[in-house]
């Protein structure tokens, strides 16, 4: 047993994300919780301010309990650090089923699970607010109340709608076929539908494994299976039902009746399409040839399937096994991305496959897709996908120990819509430590960053987590102020800017002139005027200091010149150039908008004004243009990038940190 790390005898679990917050070292993932027992099945949900709620089962007291912790966007523990709180004091069974966690429209945590307070397994839901306020009571809300030991309610899934109503769906088993129960709870904690919830059943089969999404008009879409035959080898069909806010089934349509879905293929890819419909991804052996293949289908808010009947194949390479598809949807481009495990027929060699499809199921990256990781003895298992600012991101396990599907690292890749790498490097590590990892969960903050959590260890498991930004960097991204501009009237200079694009709390701003911090600082004002400025030429930029004491990178730079005996500004160089990442290591992308097709000149200066390099770039009319600046030959420091488009001169400082 691991050593007890806190002295209080009544509490034997510790959430350990420390005052340093999120780790930036992939070889040392952030320890979220540890203790005198196993911490298992972690979940994570990120609220609209970037705070993360984390839950898990812990058996330090001899029986399993759900514990919860809240972390700030920087990863600082907020709930009773370092221990967090037990959500419930009621007993859970010695065996566990899946449970669920989400956040509501007011940034409260919602967690649902099953316990045995009424002898048999029943589903409960809790609402946790600021400072661990149990908004629906210390006992939560019981959604099922079976006392017959022949009945069981388990594996609940939760959805909070844009109207702040909460829906919980779970599997119910009794003496006959299993069914699904769904209940609606309003924001004040009142149950809206009949006691026991809406029942979705089939007279000759079991209904299993619900998942939910929101559609239009406050309704929900629920994916579920219709299973006939033995539970260990069912004939399994996929259905989606639309249920309105009054608890009535509007339509209930099949997505695939081809069969061949194994009993272990339970929770599948199920994502909103941005138009009120849903996209689904799964694998099956419908042909009975012991070759599993990945399929995708889309169903509209009206219940119409838009891809092939029973789903569209993601690849025509049907000689290899395909498993565990991870799904992401770009609603703007109306594209579907699927990442999946590819193995040979004997499941000895493994690869990572990827495909893009349109909403009618046509393959966009060729009939066989792309292979970001080619066949090798290293085990591959995709775990998560989402569309970020930089492109579509895929997180996957890679067994650096050949043939081991547990002792793995976590790699992340990012692709543009053409299937090319969106990052300079082929992949980044979310966790480069090769260790036993399992039971992953992920959530994203808008399209800016995501966080993943998992169990790690071989006996008494601990939980670990990492945060990654859309550019592949780890830890917190401290966004800089935006759109700095300068206005000069006489000898007075007024700087104005916009706040950083962040939900993290700010402390103040700092203004720099020619890389020196000025003594007059504007606190949280987004404008500042310098009066009677001595005639001279120089450059300004602004940084933001956050409440945790961290400073952002510099804003864009503006250069102004006041000439003696003249009131006119000599070009206050307007800034419409973007550099990312900045600070940079070896290279950075330079982006600008051009209103015409022409030649532009990119020149690099050091801070002494010495010209270091210059090159000509062809621009495209009425579009954003991009070029890569290779800074591998330069030492650490601040450099000025100047882009002359023929009509404008655009400046931006770049900081090299190696």
d(CA 308, CA 358): 12
Q: What pLDDT score does 564 carry?
A: 57
406 phi/psi in degrees, rounded to 5:
-115, -45
Q: What pLDDT score does 14 carry?
A: 54
Give the residue extent of every domain in the chain: 478-574, 576-658
DSSP state of 191: B
- Tell which residue, 357, 288, 285, 358, has the closest CA to residue 322: 285
pLDDT level of residue 340 (50, 70, 90 thresholds): very high
Architecture label for domain 576-658: Sandwich (2.60)
d(CA 451, CA 45): 9
For the residues 564-579, what does the mean pLDDT come to?
48
d(CA 637, CA 351): 41
pLDDT level of residue 366 (50, 70, 90 thresholds): very high
CB-CB contact of 166 with 158 (8 Å): yes
d(CA 113, CA 155): 7
CB-CB contact of 643 with 592 (8 Å): yes
Residue 295 pairs in a beta bridge with 282, 313
Q: What is the mean pLDDT of the chain?
A: 89
- Tell which residue, 335, 468, 478, 356, has the closest CA to residue 413: 468
In the predicted structure, residue 176 carries a pLDDT above the cut 90 = no
Look-up of token digits 């079991």: 206
Tokens of 325: 């598809």
217 phi/psi in degrees, rounded to 5:
60, 25
For the residues 379-398, what does the mean pLDDT come to?
96
**pLDDT tens per residue, range 111-134:** 999 999 988 999 999 999 988 999
Lowest pLDDT segment from 101-110, 267-276, 459-468, 637-646: 637-646
Q: What pLDDT score does 296 carry?
A: 99
- Tell which residue, 170, 189, 197, 13, has the closest CA to residue 108: 189
d(CA 261, CA 150): 27
List of residues 6+ apart from 36 with CB closer than 8 A: 1, 2, 3, 4, 12, 13, 60, 460
Query: Quick one: what percent of the chain has pLDDT higher than 70?
Result: 93
Other C-beta atoms lying within 10 Å of the C-beta of residue 55: 27
DSSP state of 167: E
Give the chain's largest Cα–Cα span. Answer: 95
CB-CB contact of 37 with 13 (8 Å): yes
**pLDDT tens per residue, range 436-450:** 899 999 999 989 899
DSSP state of 130: G
**CA quadruple 631, 634, 636, 641: dihedral sign:** negative
Q: What pLDDT score does 4 carry?
A: 29
**pLDDT tens per residue, range 216-260:** 999 999 999 999 999 999 999 999 999 999 999 999 999 999 999
- The string over 502-517, giving b where at least 16 C-beta atoms fall within 10 Å of a residue's C-beta and e elsewhere, is bebebeebbbbbeeee
- Tell which residue, 538, 634, 563, 646, has the closest CA to residue 598: 646
Higher pLDDT: 436 or 7? It is 436
Tokens of 9: 């005898």
For the residues 508-520, what does the mean pLDDT come to?
88
In the predicted structure, residue 7 carries a pLDDT above the cut 60 = no
List of residues 6+ apart from 100 with CB closer than 8 A: 43, 111, 112, 113, 156, 157, 158
d(CA 331, CA 336): 9
Higher pLDDT: 55 or 532? It is 55
Other C-beta atoms lying within 10 Å of the C-beta of residue 225: 23
Q: What pLDDT score does 384 carry?
A: 98
CB-CB contact of 394 with 402 (8 Å): no
Residue 153 pairs in a beta bridge with 172
Polymer length of the chain: 658
H or E, element range at 464: strand 462-469
216 phi/psi in degrees, rounded to 5:
-80, 165
131 phi/psi in degrees, rounded to 5:
55, 30
- Kindly report each contact of residues 173-178 with a partner whose C-beta sits within 8 Å and lies 24 or more positions away, as own/partner: 174/148, 174/150, 175/150, 177/201, 177/202, 177/203, 177/204, 177/205, 177/206, 177/207, 178/206, 178/207, 178/208, 178/227
List of residues 6+ apart from 111 with CB closer than 8 A: 43, 55, 66, 68, 87, 99, 100, 101, 125, 126, 128, 158
d(CA 236, CA 226): 6
The model's pTM is: 0.78
- Tell which residue, 362, 359, 316, 314, has the closest CA to residue 339: 314
Is-same-fold flag (478-574; 576-658)?
Answer: yes
At residue 57's C-alpha, the angle toward residues 52 and 58, to 5°, is 110
Tokens of 588: 């950075």
pLDDT level of residue 531 (50, 70, 90 thresholds): confident
In the predicted structure, residue 48 carries a pLDDT above the cut 90 = yes
**pLDDT tens per residue, range 64-115:** 899 999 999 889 899 988 889 999 989 888 788 999 999 999 999 999 999 9
DSSP state of 177: S
In the predicted structure, residue 624 carries a pLDDT above the cut 70 = yes
Q: What is the CA radius of gyration of the chain?
A: 28
Q: What pLDDT score does 403 carry?
A: 63
CB-CB contact of 192 with 184 (8 Å): yes
DSSP state of 163: T
For the residues 410-434, what does the mean pLDDT come to?
96
Q: What pLDDT score does 571 carry?
A: 35
132 phi/psi in degrees, rounded to 5:
60, 40
pLDDT level of residue 20 (50, 70, 90 thresholds): low
CB-CB contact of 169 with 222 (8 Å): yes
In the predicted structure, residue 479 carries a pLDDT above the cut 90 = no
At residue 172's C-alpha, the angle toward residues 171 and 176, to 5°, is 125
Q: What pLDDT score does 129 carry?
A: 96
CB-CB contact of 593 with 640 (8 Å): no
Q: What pLDDT score does 658 carry?
A: 72
pLDDT level of residue 567 (50, 70, 90 thresholds): very low
Burial class (CB in 10 A: 0-12, 13-18, 19+), 106: middle
In the predicted structure, residue 570 carries a pLDDT above the cut 70 = no
Q: What pLDDT score does 576 carry?
A: 60
Is 478-574 in CATH node 3.50.30.30? no
d(CA 353, CA 369): 7
């Amino acid at each position: 047993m691991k050593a007890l790390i806190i002295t209080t005898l009544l509490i034997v679990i510790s959430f350990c994300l420390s005052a340093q917050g999120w780790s930036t070292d992939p070889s040392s993932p952030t320890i979220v919780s540890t203790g005198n027992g196993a911490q298992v099945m972690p979940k994570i949900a990120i609220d609209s301010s970037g705070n993360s709620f984390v839950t898990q089962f812990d058996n330090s007291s001899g029986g399993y309990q759900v514990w919860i912790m809240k972390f700030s966007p920087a990863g600082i523990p907020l709930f009773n650090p370092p221990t967090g709180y037990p959500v419930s004091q009621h007993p859970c069974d010695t065996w566990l089923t899946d449970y669920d966690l989400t956040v509501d429209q007011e940034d409260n945590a919602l967690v649902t699970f099953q316990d045995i307070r009424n002898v048999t397994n029943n589903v409960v839901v809790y609402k946790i607010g600021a400072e661990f306020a149990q908004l629906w009571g210390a006992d939560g809300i019981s959604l099922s109340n079976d006392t017959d030991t022949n009945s069981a309610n388990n594996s609940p899934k939760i959805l909070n709608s844009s109207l702040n109503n909460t829906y919980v769906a779970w599997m119910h088993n009794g003496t006959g076929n299993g069914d699904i129960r769904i209940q609606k709870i309003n924001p004040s904690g009142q149950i809206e539908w009949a006691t026991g919830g809406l029942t979705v059943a089939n007279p000759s089969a079991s209904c299993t494994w619900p998942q939910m999404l929101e559609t239009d008009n406050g309704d929900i879409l629920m994916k579920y299976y219709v299973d006939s035959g033995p539970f260990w080898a069912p004939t399994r069909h996929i259905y989606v039902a639309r249920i309105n806010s009054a608890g009535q089934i509007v339509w209930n349509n099949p997505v695939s009746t081809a069969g061949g879905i194994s009993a272990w293929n339970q929770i599948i890819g199920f994502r909103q399409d941005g138009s009120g419909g849903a996209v689904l991804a799964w694998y099956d052996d419908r042909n009975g040839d012991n070759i599993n293949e990945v399929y995708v289908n889309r169903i509209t808010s009206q219940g119409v399937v838009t891809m092939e009947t029973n789903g569209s194949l993601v690849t025509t390479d049907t000689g290899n096994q395909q498993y565990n598809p991870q799904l992401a949807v770009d609603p703007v481009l109306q594209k579907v991305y699927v990442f999946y495990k590819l193995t040979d027929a004997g499941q000895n060699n493994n690869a990572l496959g990827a495909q893009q499809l349109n909403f009618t199921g046509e393959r966009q990256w060729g009939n066989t897709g792309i292979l970001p990781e080619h066949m090798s003895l290293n085990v591959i298992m995709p775990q998560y996908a989402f569309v970020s600012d930089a492109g579509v991101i895929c997180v996957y396990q890679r067994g650096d120990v050949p043939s081991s599907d547990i002792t793995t690292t976590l790699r992340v890749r990012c692709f543009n819509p053409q299937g090319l790498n969106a990052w300079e490097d082929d992949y980044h590590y979310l966790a480069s430590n090769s260790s036993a990892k399992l039971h992953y969960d992920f959530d994203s903050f808008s399209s800016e960053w995501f966080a993943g959590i998992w169990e790690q260890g071989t006996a008494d498991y601990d939980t670990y987590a990492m945060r990654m930004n859309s550019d592949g960097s780890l830890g917190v991204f401290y966004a800089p102020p935006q759109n700095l501009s300068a206005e000069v009237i006489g000898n007075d200079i007024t700087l104005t800017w916009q706040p950083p694009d962040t939900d993290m709390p700010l402390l103040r701003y700092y203004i720099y002139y020619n890389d020196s911090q000025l003594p007059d600082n504007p606190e949280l004002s987004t404008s500042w005027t310098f009066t009677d400025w001595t005639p001279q030429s120089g450059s300004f930029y602004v940084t933001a200091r956050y409440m945790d004491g961290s400073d952002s990178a510099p804003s864009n730079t503006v250069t102004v010149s006041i000439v003696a005996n003249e009131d006119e500004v000599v070009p206050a160089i307007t800034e419409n150039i973007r550099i990312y990442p900045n600070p940079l290591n070896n290279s950075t992308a330079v982006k600008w908008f051009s209103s015409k097709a022409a030649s532009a000149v990119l020149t690099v200066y050091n801070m002494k004004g010495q010209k270091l390099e210059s090159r000509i770039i062809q621009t495209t009319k009425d579009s954003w243009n991009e070029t890569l600046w290779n800074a591998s030959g330069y030492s650490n420091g601040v450099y000025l990038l100047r882009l002359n488009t023929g009509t404008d001169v655009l400046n931006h400082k770049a900081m090299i940190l190696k």
